[in-house]
């Protein structure tokens, strides 16, 4: 399946793509509304709930806006590199988990965002000074060199 066919097939699916799909696929979080879809040899994650997608989109847009300095960007880029996307998705949700005081080993994204909504009706009122350090600190690779054995 070439890229154009993949895009057309993906766009034909009526469900919106999950904004935290990479974080779900890597096993950092779960989501009760996520649905895995396989197209050709690729996997995609889509959201089955419009209200949950709206919550995720609102929070994701805010963390992108608030994390510009932490990502080393003067302005918000149109497309994030893979590593930056993982920083925003995973670090941003780790910060949200801290704000919502979630402590399970593999927390649910939808539950966390609903709990934050109950704490404050507008995500804009959240204390992002707690969230941004999680975004800045997250790295897929641990820093430092390892000696070969």
pLDDT band at 110 (very low <50, low <70, confident <90, very high): very high
Rounded to two decimals, what is the model's pTM? 0.81
Bridge partners of 37? 44
Helix boundaries (H) for 14-143: 21-25, 50-66, 82-86, 92-100, 109-119, 128-137
pLDDT of residue 108: 92
Q: Quick: pLDDT tens for 63-81.
A: 988 887 767 665 666 678 8
Which one has a higher pLDDT value, 72 or 37?
37
Residues 6+ apart with CB under 8 A from 105: none
Per-residue pLDDT, averaged over 4-27, amounts to 83
CA–CA gap between residue 96 and residue 90 (Å, rounded): 10
pLDDT exceeds 50 at position 120: yes
């Amino acid at each position: 399946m070439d890229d154009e066919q993949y895009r057309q097939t993906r766009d034909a699916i009526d469900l919106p793509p999950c904004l935290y799909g990479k974080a779900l696929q890597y096993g950092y979080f779960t989501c009760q509304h996520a649905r895995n879809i396989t197209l050709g040899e690729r996997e995609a994650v889509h959201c089955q709930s419009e209200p949950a997608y709206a919550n995720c989109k609102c929070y994701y847009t805010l963390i992108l806006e608030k994390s510009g300095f932490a990502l080393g960007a003067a302005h918000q880029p149109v497309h994030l590199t893979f590593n930056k996307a993982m920083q925003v998705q995973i670090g941003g949700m780790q910060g949200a988990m801290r704000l919502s005081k979630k402590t399970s080993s593999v927390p649910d994204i939808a539950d966390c965002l609903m709990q934050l909504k109950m704490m404050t009706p507008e995500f804009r009122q959240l204390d992002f000074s707690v969230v941004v350090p999680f975004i800045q600190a997250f790295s897929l690779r641990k820093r430092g060199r390892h000696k070969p054995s």
